[in-house]
């Protein structure tokens, strides 16, 4: 029994191995991009909105409000990154209900990749907003002695992000598969329905944590640049 879609190799070209994780990821990307293109092809700026446009606007505006509430900053720069994290993870987890679909988020490679993206996004937004010197000065706070601990903290939360998401998704799929063998059909179906809720919650947690990490970097940088202002 494969516990990760990475182990399902679809095409082996030596170093390049196309596994199920990549295949389902591309499928999900194509589905999301096609759906977005189809919905946004005819957007209405006045009068009645289509239900799909309404759904997307609610989603985007909800993400904006969440970022604004958590980061207490303009959500504009962070919105594409955070919203893409949430949409991708949520889509993968929700599509798990489709028979034969293996969610890419059940692969440690995928969750590690997403965690690395967050890991890289933190300095990216911090440097873009306040410069390299100001951002690096963050790791010397409150004293230069804290530099090792800060670096370990950065790595630890990245690993925690990856493992948390992987563990939840993988365990959910694995638990459903095991229960399918030993219990009647109704029970695994209920577990799958519960997995949908868990998947959405995991997507939300991942996005919120990414927001918190990015906002902490930018907010700390602001605190360093303007020490007279109170900490948010």
User: Within 180-209, which residues bind another protein (CB under 8 A)?
Assistant: none
DSSP 171-213: HHHHHHHHHHHHS-THHHHHHHHHHHHHHHHHHHHHHHHHHHH
Number of residues written out for the chain = 232
Q: Which spans in the chain are helix H? A: 20-39, 51-71, 79-94, 108-130, 132-136, 147-182, 186-225
Q: Rounded to 5 degrees, what angle do the CA atoms 177, 178, 183 make? A: 105
CB of 227 to another protein, least distance (A): 34
Q: Which part of the chain contacts another protein (CB under 8 A), choosing from 100-108, 141-149, 189-197, 222-230?
A: 100-108
- Contact between 212 and another protein by CB under 8 A: the answer reads no
CB of 36 to another protein, least distance (A): 4
Q: Which part of the chain contacts another protein (CB under 8 A), choosing from 1-9, 130-138, 203-211, 222-230?
A: 1-9
Q: 61, 69, 74, 141: which one contacts another protein (CB under 8 A)? A: 61
- Contact between 32 and another protein by CB under 8 A: the answer reads yes
- From residue 68, how far is each of 73, 96, 219, 231 by CA, in Å? 6, 30, 13, 16
Q: Which part of the chain contacts another protein (CB under 8 A), choosing from 103-111, 128-136, 198-206, 213-221?
A: 103-111
Q: Return d(Cα 194, Cα 82) in angstroms, integer.
A: 24
Residues that bind another protein (CB under 8 A): 3-4, 6-7, 15-17, 19, 21-22, 25-26, 29, 32-33, 36-37, 39-40, 43-46, 53, 56-57, 60-61, 79-81, 83-84, 87-88, 104, 107-110, 112-114, 116-117
């Amino acid at each position: 029994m494969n516990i990760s879609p990475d182990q399902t190799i679809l095409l082996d070209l030596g170093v390049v191995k196309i596994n199920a994780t990549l295949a389902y990821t591309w499928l999900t990307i194509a589905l999301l991009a096609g759906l977005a293109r189809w919905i946004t092809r005819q957007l209405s700026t006045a009068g009645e909105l289509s239900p799909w446009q309404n759904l997307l606007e609610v989603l985007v505006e909800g993400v904006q409000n969440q970022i604004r509430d958590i980061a207490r900053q303009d959500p504009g720069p962070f919105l594409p990154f955070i919203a893409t994290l949430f949409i991708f993870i949520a889509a993968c987890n929700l599509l798990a209900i489709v028979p034969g679909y293996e969610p890419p988020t059940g692969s440690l490679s995928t969750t590690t990749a997403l965690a690395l993206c967050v890991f890289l996004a933190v300095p990216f937004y911090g440097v873009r907003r306040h410069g390299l010197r100001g951002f690096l000065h963050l790791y010397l706070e409150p004293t230069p002695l804290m530099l090792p601990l800060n670096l370990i903290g950065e790595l630890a939360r990245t690993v925690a992000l990856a493992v948390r998401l992987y563990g939840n998704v993988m365990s959910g799929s694995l638990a459903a598969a095991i229960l399918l063998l030993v219990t009647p059909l109704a029970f695994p179906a209920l577990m799958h329905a519960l997995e949908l809720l868990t998947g959405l919650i995991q997507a939300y947690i991942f996005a919120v944590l990414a927001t918190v990490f990015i906002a902490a970097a930018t907010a700390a940088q602001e605190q360093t640049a303007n020490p007279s202002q109170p900490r948010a």
